Amino acid sequence: MTDRAQRTIQIKWVRSGIGFPYRQKEMVRSLGLRRLNQIVECPDTPQIRGLVARIPHLVAIVDEPSKPATWAAVPEYTLRPPEVVPVASPAPAEVPPAQEAGPIAPAEAEELAAEPAVTETVVKSAGETPAPAEAVKAKKPGKTTAAKRKAVEAKKGKAAADKTAKPSKASKK
């Protein structure tokens, strides 16, 4: 066999068969194409080349994708494992000298129990408030409640004055 018979070509369906004769649609199907933009690989024979030549408006021969250049195969960067840093062990906790002495006398035990335990908490004065984690939205400056009341009373007064200023129906006659 010749070298050409063993080669293959890639054929792509590029245009729909709607509006074209049934025989042309059958030629597309005989190439093994089932859906639009599908690519099939067929043997490079005169029969296949003849089918493609009959329907060049529906199919196209696609070149095989070229291999990327050798420089493109080289990665731009390399991944290295993170460096392991030895962690220093924490220093042993210091023991107060009173506990090193040994057993505690019962009188000393009662005194220790009566004293409040010392902790590392910060006591704030009564006037301070704890700061929240997120900032609290400030209210928009507006009228105070007294100012709001005055505004409402002024509106009521104007409405009452308007009613008295309008002439009544009886006076129009």
Residue 35 lies in a domain: yes
Residue 44 lies in a domain: yes
pTM of the model: 0.37
pLDDT at 36: 95
Higher pLDDT, 89 or 48: 48
Q: Are 12 and 43 in contact (CB under 8 A)?
A: no
Residue 39 lies in a domain: yes
pLDDT at 77: 76
d(CA 62, CA 162): 88
Residue 48 lies in a domain: yes
Domain of 35: which CATH number?
Answer: 3.30.1390.20
Write out pLDDT tens, residues 50-66. Answer: 999 999 999 999 986 66
The CA distances from residue 146 to 58, 141, 143, 154, 166, in Å, are 83, 14, 8, 12, 31
Q: Are 74 and 49 in contact (CB under 8 A)?
A: no
Write out pLDDT tens, residues 111-130. Answer: 666 655 554 445 455 555 55
Name the amino acid, one letter, at 93: A
d(CA 148, CA 157): 14
Question: Residue 27 class from Cβ within 10 Å (0-12 exposed, 13-18 middle, 19+ buried)?
Answer: buried
Residue 171 lies in a domain: no
What domain count does the chain have?
A: 1
d(CA 148, CA 151): 5
Domain with 40, as residue range(s), is: 3-62
Whose CA is closest to 27, among 7, 61, 44, 50?
A: 50
Beta sheet of 8-13, edge-to-edge order? 39-43, 8-13, 59-62
Residue 55 lies in a domain: yes
Residue 157 lies in a domain: no
Residue 109 lies in a domain: no
